[in-house]
A and B are shown apart, each in its own frame.
Chain A
Amino acid sequence: MKKSKKFRFLSSVMMAVMLLTLMASPFAIAAEEEPTVLRVAVENEPNTLDNQVVTNDCASTIGQHIFETLYTYDEDYNAVPLLAESDETLEDGKVVKITLRQGVTFHNGKEMTAEDVYASLTRWLEYGSRSSQMREYIDSIEVEDAYTITLNFKQPYSPWKNLFAFINGGPAIYPKEVAEAATQEPISEDQYIGTGPYCFVEHEQARYFKLEKYEDYAARDEEAEGLSGDRTGQMDEIDFIPVANASTRINGLLAGDYDYVRIATSDMYEDLSANKDVVVSINKGTKMPLMFFNSKAGIFKDNYKLRQAVLTALDMEEIMSIAVGPEELWDLNGSINPEWNMFYSEEGIDTWNQADPEKAQQMAEEAGYQGEPIVILINNTQQLHVDICTVIAQQLESAGFNVDAQRLDAAAQQAKRADETQWDIHFTHHIFSPEPIIYNWMNAGYAGWWDTEEKRDLVSKYVAETDPEKQAKIWSDIQALTYEQIPVIKTGDCYEFDVYSVRLTGLDERVPLWPCFWRVTLA
């Protein structure tokens, strides 16, 4: 009998726990003067916010509230000063003198000076994700005085300002002590000290990144616009909460657990647009899905005709309408940069979107294709890539190509594509960049390894050109060459979209490259 008593006791304890759990009051005790908190659900959890070395978009979304760059972008993606005050180009563009703003302080209270900028730029040039090209052109950086820094180039190099404005993989400014100690490895969380409108408080793994308003933020005088101008924070606290599953993010928004949700999936677009409680906001920066061809080995090496055959087979309208869905979320644009941008060009795009499998088959035969398997490496953690490649595989097969689509996770795809004998096409995407020269296929070290003489010539002409209009002209020549040698095929432009509660005000109509929340208030 003793045991069944014990059992009864145990079961009543269990019942009590359950009941308590169910009854637990959802009301928090209201403190006086509750700080205002904005809860942003983000699509993944970056393993570092060190923007100099990381190219994860989410790291930039969070990071740009903490760290700032010398320049940033206005609404039309022109590079405008942020930490810089002004700049001066000397000796036909070989020397650039940048004057810094005075009175800007880091979150540790120290004032930002040219020493900090020097250390940050040095670290970035050596280890930064997007600095490899500039590294070849720069000769030296000099600190002139506390607020002036000079860049000496070996030959004129015009993309510098755009690179200094692009925080993703770009030169975020850290305190001298942090930058000097930093290597190739990302800086640790206790070193997240920037000049931005929010300070880093803590990161709880798989829970949140907590940011607090920086009271001594030194704001610019200009009106806020896009990412530029006055960045003074409004909310006391911003929590960035990683929620990997898109349905869960949206459910959380609808249930009031989050105020702003990054990147819903395109199939939710219509429902959410019709929902009166939330606002749907389409990203202005485009996302280009890209097929990279292997220029180093395999059947596409030097065989431009065969690559053109692949391009001829593709029906971009079908690809985009199936993989993306709602028409508001994609554009049939063969130009590398979008129409509103100064680098838009129609050079070479007439071969884009022909959707002609018969002609493609004939071209492939002429190019010597004999049914060899074409290995496409696909990152299966990116749903868009999987969807697009499913359609592409179908289209290529109906044009007589023998497709071997291999789905791998991100790291495996990257490991495999480093070996040129393992693949023919790898699939990825780029987000729009106001400086097209930093797109990965322009980098001969990036998997694909496009490195022809014609390309090198045009690139060196491009970077030396300081007149924007002439530079755009050279870019359109580069685009024409891209359509001739086809290092890469883009399938169009698509747009991600964010969703937020109607209670939020202060957001732009279209989301900038990375959404910013310093102007946001919650009603």
Chain B
Amino acid sequence: MFNLLRKRKVAIVASVFLIAVLICGIFAPLISTFDPNETHGKDRLSTINSTYWLGTDNYGRDIFSRIIYGTRMSLVGSLGIVVFAVVLGVLLGVVAGYLRSAQMVIMRLADVLMAFPPLLLAMMLMAIMGSGVFNVVIAIGAYYMTRMIRIIYSLTLKIKEETYIEAMHAQGASTLRIILRHIVPNLVSPIIVQATFTFSSALLQMAALDFLGLGIPPQYPTWGNMLSEGSRFMTRAPWMVVIPGLVIVLTVLSINIMGDLLRDNIDPKFRDIVKGT
């Protein structure tokens, strides 16, 4: 990993940035200068100044503190989506790849879910479940889960055909044991690559959902809901859009750089499958 980083200097910058973001999230109460939800009606829409380092929003809330606190829910939300997609995706994908009987059902279901436009799928699920952080994770995670299922499924099929796996079957090893000991470990690196891209794209999807008023509830600041709120004030208070927008872009960019790095160094036999994402 370190060797990889040395080869690409831009990746060093990206990883430093991501670590800084993580620190901000973990130590948010220490770093921020205000309670992120405290409103200052008199100071609404102030520009950058010495009290409000990055200005205030339409509720007079300190943008700097909201960005810092927003790190938490933005990262937790995206991470939640990744975990949801990976856990269910791997589970269903491996099962589909291994059990002929399950394959029909699972892959058909995945096909069907793929046919729903992702944002609309999220919209409908949100409408059914109501607002809430956990529901956002499920609504967006459902789409990434189906992508994960398809990838894991084709990887599993490929690994299954390897001679040593066939040999183990012949020796009478249990299926569960083969899956856990030999299939899943082989999937780890493609999963990580796919997960990084899911992470960054989930961050953007959450922002899009916020734009439709269906995202994370407003009492939890996220970069996404800050951005969509700011888009109403683009001419009056451009900093409300620019700051969260920049943070999102830089974070997504850094994660993608890391993901690219991982992908270029993945086992070539899986590259075709992982690439199509």
Contacts and interface: CB of A to CB of B under 8 A. Distances in A.
Nearest to A391: B39
A325 B237 CA distance: 13
B213 A381 contact: yes
Interface in A388-411: 390-391, 393-394, 405-409
B213 A390 contact: no
Contacts of A356: none
B218 A322 contact: no
Contacts of A230: none
B195 to A, nearest CB: 30
A386 B213 contact: yes
B182 interface: no
B37 interface: yes
From A381, A383, A390, A406, name the one whose CB has the most chain B CB atoms within 10 angstroms. A390
B85 to A, nearest CB: 25
A321 B41 contact: yes
B103 interface: no
B58 A325 contact: yes
Contacts of A317: 41
Interface residues of A, number: 27
B273 interface: no
Interface string B243-273: 0000000000000000000000000000000
A116 B58 CA distance: 52
A520 B130 CA distance: 45
A325 B57 CA distance: 12
Contacts of A381: 213
A265 interface: yes
Contacts of B127: 409, 412
Contact of B233 (A267, A405, A407): A267
A10 interface: no
A406 B236 CA distance: 29
B58 A322 contact: yes
A247 B39 contact: no
Interface string A403-427: 0011111001000000000000000
Interface in B211-262: 213-214, 217-219, 231-237
A247 B228 CA distance: 13
B24 to A, nearest CB: 24
Contact of B236 (A267, A394, A408): A267
B160 interface: no
Nearest to A317: B41
A520 B234 CA distance: 32
Contact of B39 (A246, A318, A412): A318
A317 B214 CA distance: 28
A267 B59 contact: no
A407 B232 contact: no
A380 B213 contact: yes
B236 A270 contact: yes
A271 interface: yes
B131 interface: yes
A322 B41 contact: yes
Nearest to B214: A380
A271 B235 contact: yes
A405 B216 CA distance: 12
A268 interface: yes
B59 A265 contact: no
B118 interface: no
23 contacts: A247-B231, A247-B234, A267-B233, A267-B236, A268-B235, A270-B236, A271-B235, A271-B236, A317-B41, A318-B41, A321-B44, A380-B214, A381-B213, A387-B58, A390-B59, A390-B218, A391-B39, A393-B219, A394-B37, A405-B217, A405-B219, A408-B130, A409-B127
Interface of B: 37, 39, 41, 44-45, 58-60, 127, 130-131, 213-214, 217-219, 231-237
Interface of A: 246-247, 265, 267-268, 270-271, 317-318, 321-322, 325, 380-381, 383, 386-387, 390-391, 393-394, 405-409, 412
Given A387-B58, A394-B37, 7 more contacts: A265-B232, A321-B44, A325-B44, A383-B213, A383-B232, A390-B218, A393-B219
The list of the 8 closest CB pairs from A to B, nearest first, reads A380-B213, A407-B131, A318-B41, A321-B41, A322-B41, A267-B236, A267-B233, A322-B59
